[in-house]
Structures are given as structure tokens and as C-alpha cells.
Structure 1
């Protein structure tokens, strides 16, 4: 392979994407770099300016100009970092999240249009070729850990939440189909009727596949949100995914104005409880019950969102209802 081969492929692929975007203005009214910044903020709910510079390899002055523009347009807010007051934490406002969501929708439509031109028989070959390119080029660079990305659910992900909750808890705790039914109702209620400004689902993706999830939904108590369905795949525990998901839920709930964040879990889920305790949740009550084919002790936990978030002290993933 020569330099010309790579340049020729780059021109070809750029033309393909450009043709798909003809007349649609994929990134409008933002530049490609501005769109990448919005994407990064939407998928990393607690991002410092320094983190953005490192993740996107941007000049500090250039990034500062972009963030100034976003702040003037009401897309982001800046505040001292919880980890280091010398750094600035950047979060999207509801308007900024709407803008990022629109760009994400356009991107998905563009890629879907590209896939429509590929026969079903050729799609596995195309996916394998893309994985090969990524794998080879990754090996040519300095070694780095595979990235965990938190994203909104794509089509099929809500079904994945139900299936994996049922399978994981059956395998690890012997819970029966009653638990799958509960999860299915929770997910169906969210899919059929939720306020995107006040309720949200996150999917944790690692190495190109979903490996975790969590939900933030309105509770019956006014000004209170409920954390639900925290799950991390067994083979990815130890990567800090559970902490990332809980942190995202807390940051979102605090950002949209909830006063309290509550959750219900069971005493057998010790790893999950350690995550909640690290993030400041307090046990408020517990009660024995018979559910999912087992004798359990249910626990109610609460976090006052007006208090400062606790610092992470490691990563111990886990799950709960």
C-alpha cells in the first residue's frame, strides 16, 4: 500500500458522504468541528475544557472561541470543575442537548441512507472491512485503552435493556421471569410516554457494543427523579462503567432542576450499593419482600441534589432494578 492509496480512499469516502449530504446541510448551522464538540459534550455529561482539548486534539484558543460562541447561543454553561477548581466544567443546556440531538438524528439518517445502497449480503463484508481498517490503524498508533462512550439509545437498544437485565440477573441471582416482566413494563412506559427534557436513558458502549445502561425518570414525588435499571455487562466490570452511568444520571437530574434523586434496589446487589454510596446516596429504608422467586430485602436510597457531588474512588460496576 502507498500513500496515494490512502489518499485515494479518503477522497472516495469524502465524496460518498458529501453526495449523501447534498442539499441537506448535515452540520448546519455549525461547522464540522463545532458539531464534534457538541457530540462530545452530549456523550460525556461531565467534561472539563481540558478533556475536550485532549479528546478532539484541538488548539486551546480555537476551542475557547467555540465554547464562547456556544455560551452566547445558550447551548452550554461553564462552571468550576468539581475535581479541580482551576479547571472549567462544560455542560450542555437543554437547548444545547436539543441541538446535539438534531445533529445526531441527521447523522443517523445519513448513514442509514448509505446503508440503503448496500445489499444485505454485502453489509457484513463492509462492517468487517471497517473493523480491519480501524484495528490496523489503531495498532500503528500508541497503545490506548478502548473507549467507553455513553450515548442515547438507538433502535433496538430498549429491547436490549430488557433482554440483558433478564439474562444477567437470572444467571447471577436466579431471578425468574417476574423480573423480566417488571423491566419490560418500565421500558415500555418510558418508550410510550416520557419527557425528553426531564427523563433520559443512557447506553454505555464499549468496543462497538452496548455493555451497560441506566435510566433517569420522574418520580411520583414532586421535584424528584428516580434512577432505574442500572446494569453493566459482567465481562466489562472493572472499567468504571457503573460509576460513569450513575454520574451521568446525577449530572442530568441536577442540571434539569430536580431536588432529589431516589432509587430502589435489593441487598444482594452489594457492588451497586457501593457505587451509590460513593456518589452520596443515603439508605433511607429497607423491607423484606418475596419477589422474582427469591426472598430479598428491598432498599430505598436517596441523594440530595443540592449537595456537592462526591469524588470517585475507583470503579465497582453493578446493577439494580
Structure 2
């Protein structure tokens, strides 16, 4: 035990120095402190959160967090209002400006860590990542994943390809769809990757323990004033954590803030779990039609959410 304690303390000092070296001369968090950056990060990875939950997640003093949120509100980074689930609580949501600030900090962090990893031989990088996962698993008590362990983030290089690959593999395994569906997904993703307006279109990746476990897209529809929800997916081993709800909620919140009047989507009747998520968020079935696609006889469905008629 004594040697283990000493090893952990030694590692802690070493890793603290590594983190300090990452930021040395780089001004990684400017104009925010490290704690303020952590708050922005948590808010960026949850469409809506309560101040009380945020305080518990980050182990912050209530007064300290309140001062941070006051500053963010003055700078136009966050909006606060009554919680949707508990009127005694206050919800905190990033504004468009807040998401831009969080994205800048995230980009700086990725570039800095990438520069550090560039000094590590390629053959040692998987071993390094596995060692870090081992530390998290052991010190985490081997517990099952919790909803709060999942973060929603913007895609990084490789994620768009993952969306195509996992959609094709999962729908083939679960519904017997053929390569026609993979082709459809590939075209949707390619169009987004080559030309999208970040003010009006966005993709989210759900991440758990460092790996992607879900995704969704919000893109402009051909109909004026309409956003289209596309390619909602949650990995089988990550279901039951509310990821689908969070992804759809992220699309709805983004579409509302971007000024869309409605969100539309097309799905098929066999996707029962996804339909229940859409219904919980207020989507209404407006049309359905039998069709032969992806090697199967299906019933296609059009769903619509009127953002002007539904409360925020």
C-alpha cells in the first residue's frame, strides 16, 4: 500500500508538470482561467444543464461558480433561466458567442495535445492511450457508464468517416439494409463535409470514455425556414443513457437559436426507438408512404416540429 501511495503521488506530480508544460507560453486558456475554461467545456457538452449539477460535476463552491456565471452572462456567453425539470433550480445554456468561445478553447487544447503526441513514437501512442483508459477504469471503481459520462462535441478529423461506417454496419446488422444505405449516408456526409454553413448547420458526436458512441446532424432543408435532422445514431452498448434524447435536444436547441421556424426529418417505421425520442421532443408525424429501399420493403415517415408553436 505504501509503495502504491508513493507511486500515485509521484505520477500526480509528473502529470501536473506535463499539464503545466502544455500551457507554458501558449496562453491556452486566455482570457479565461483554467476553472472558467472547465465550466465552458462542461456547458458546451450539454445542451442544457442546471447550475446545481454543474457545481457538483466540477466540485466548485457555489459562490465561486455564481461569480463565474455572472461574468459569463455579462460577456454574453451564457443565458440563465428556470430549470425545465425543477423550478427551484436555474438552467444555464451557452449562447452562440459562448459556443464560439468554447470551440476556440477546445481547438487550442487539441492542437496543444496533438503537438505533444507528435513527440511520441507512433507505435507507443496506442499503449499510452490504453494506459490512460486503465487509470480511468480502475480509479472509477469499474462502475457502469452514467449519463453524465457522455459528452457531446463537434466532429474532429475521422469522425465523418466514422458516421458513414457505423451507420452502414449497424443498419445492416439490425435491419438487414444493404449497401444502398451506405451510399446514401456517404453522400449526406460528403455534402456536409465539403460545404456547410456553421451558423446554420452542425454535427454532434456523442463521446463516452474517449470513443464515439452516437451522432446526429442538423442541416438546412430545401423548404425555406426549415432545418433537417439527419443520421441520428446511438451505439447498442451505449443505449439507455439518454444519448438519443440529448442529441435530438441539441438539434432542436441549435435550430431554435439559429432562427429556423421548424425542424423536419424523414425516418422509417421500423425505427421504433428513434420515433419515441422524436415524439418526446414534440415532433408530429405528418405523412407516411410505403417504399422499397436498401433491399427492404419499408414505410417512410415524415415528421415535423413547429418551433414557433412549441415552448423553448
Aligned partners of 2:21 and 2:237: how far apart in 1?
40
Query: Are the structure 2 counterparts of residues 144 and 170 from structure 1 closer, same or farther at C-alpha, using a change threshold of 3 Å?
Result: closer
Q: Which residue of 1 aligns with 2:223?
A: 221
Decide which moves more: 44-53 or 122-131. Answer: 122-131
Displacement of 1:90: 1.0
How many residue pairs match? The answer is: 308
RCO comparison, higher one (Cα < 8 Å, 6+): 1
Deviations along 1:64-116, whole A, 9 cap, x unmatched? Answer: 10011001111111121221222211111111111000000011011111111
1:165 paired with 2:171, answer no
Decide which moves more: 156-165 or 294-303. Answer: 294-303
Aligned pairs for 1:296-311 (under 5 A) are 296-308=298-310
Query: Are the structure 2 counterparts of residues 180 and 309 from structure 1 closer, same or farther at C-alpha, using a change threshold of 3 Å?
Result: farther
4+ runs of 1 displaced by more than 6 Å? none
Q: Which of the numbers 115, 122, 125 marks the counterpart of 1:123?
A: 125
1:40 paired with 2:37, answer no
TM-score (norm 2): 0.93
Aligned partners of 1:159 and 1:241: how far apart in 2?
20
Aligned partners of 1:205 and 1:189: how far apart in 2?
23
Gaps of 5+ in 2: none
1:63 paired with 2:65, answer yes
Displacement of 1:267: 1.2
Q: Which residue of 2 aligns with 1:199?
A: 201
Query: Are the structure 2 counterparts of residues 181 and 207 from structure 1 closer, same or farther at C-alpha, using a change threshold of 3 Å?
Result: same
Q: Which residue of 1 aligns with 2:19?
A: 17
Deviations along 1:175-211, whole A, 9 cap, x unmatched? Answer: 1111111101111111111111221111111233211
Aligned partners of 1:16 and 1:283: how far apart in 2?
53
Query: Are the structure 2 counterparts of residues 176 and 309 from structure 1 closer, same or farther at C-alpha, using a change threshold of 3 Å?
Result: farther
Aligned pairs for 1:98-247 (under 5 A) are 98-139=100-141, 145-146=145-146, 147-247=149-249
| Preserved contact between residue 47 and residue 246 of structure 2 (Cα < 8 Å) | no
Decide which moves more: 211-220 or 250-259. Answer: 250-259
Gaps of 5+ in 1: 311-321
Displacement of 1:145: 3.7
TM-score (norm 1): 0.91
Aligned partners of 2:50 and 2:144: how far apart in 1?
20
